[in-house]
Amino acid sequence: MGARLGLPVAGLASGFISSTATIAAMGACAAKAKEVLAAAVAGAVLSTIATIIQMALVLAITSMTTSLSLAIPLTIAGMAAFACGAAFTVLALRRTTDVELQGGRAFSLWTTLVFAVTLSIILVACAALQVRFGENGIIFAAAIVGLADTHSAAISVASLVASGKLTAADALLPILAGLSTNTMSKIVLATTSGGRSFAVRVVPGLILVALAAWAGALYGQAAG
């Protein structure tokens, strides 16, 4: 599959494994081959769509009430991610040289094990912080964990809701905090892996998606 379509498709698919890692990989690809910059940017931004979709799915599976409380923020964030991704994909189809791409492994057992261990640690940490500091402790824990994996943070918080230790309304801030710090990690990786040309195209889209989620939360609270 050529780079014009291959990188955007790979970015979207790989985003379901790790959007953060995908952005770093796309940045490295763009740094090595400037002719695929537009396609790499499209792949990086499209990976954020996977982040939002996966967030909605894991929340629905873990706690439907939490999923419903995040419905508006995630919908608006998803729309923003789709708009940015679609725009960059169109640019990629127009500008990118259609070079061939090499395939690679999409899934890793190590990644799965790390996720499981991380999730277990987060659940214990969130529960302990809730007892010690209340809601602020959960927000802090989710924000720290979000630096590495926003879905682990979201699942942990939703699990507290499912067990009756936290209300769905109180889960909103911790989950968005994790999403925001994860966005910061993506910004750092986009800058360090892909350089300035890559970062100035990807970073605004990342910020827009995060702001859209917060805007959706504010709108939901005002409407409610």
Domain boundaries along the sequence of the chain = 3-101+108-223
Residue 28 tokens read as 């490295």
Count of Cβ atoms closer than 10 Å to residue 144 Cβ: 16
Radius of gyration of the chain (CA): 18
Decide which of 142 and 212 is more confident.
212
Residue 161 tokens read as 């809701």
| Average pLDDT, integer, range 4-30 | 87
Decide which of 210 and 222 is more confident.
210
* Cα–Cα distance for residue pair 168/2, rounded to 1 Å: 45
pLDDT at 161: 94
| Average pLDDT, integer, range 174-192 | 94
Decide which of 115 and 54 is more confident.
54
Decide which of 58 and 141 is more confident.
58
Give the model confidence (pLDDT) of 63-95 as tens digits. 999 999 999 999 999 999 999 999 999 988 876
| Average pLDDT, integer, range 159-163 | 92
Asked if residue 51 lies in contact with residue 16, where contact means CB atoms within 8 angstroms, the answer is no
Residue 199 tokens read as 């970062």
- Report the chain's mean pLDDT, rounded to a whole number: 84
pLDDT at 99: 54
Asked if residue 38 lies in contact with residue 97, where contact means CB atoms within 8 angstroms, the answer is no
Count of Cβ atoms closer than 10 Å to residue 102 Cβ: 5
| Global model pTM greater than 0.85 | no
Burial 112-128 (b: 16+ CB within 10 A, else e): eeebeebbeebbebbbe
Residue 211 has pLDDT above 90, yes or no: yes
| Average pLDDT, integer, range 150-163 | 90
* Cα–Cα distance for residue pair 149/93, rounded to 1 Å: 31
Decide which of 49 and 131 is more confident.
49
pLDDT at 102: 52
Asked if residue 32 lies in contact with residue 57, where contact means CB atoms within 8 angstroms, the answer is no
Residue 44 has pLDDT above 60, yes or no: yes
* Cα–Cα distance for residue pair 95/36, rounded to 1 Å: 8
Q: Which residues pair with 2 in a beta bridge?
A: 100
pLDDT at 105: 44
Q: Specify burial of residue 189 (Cβ count, 10 A radius: 0-12, 13-18, 19+).
A: buried
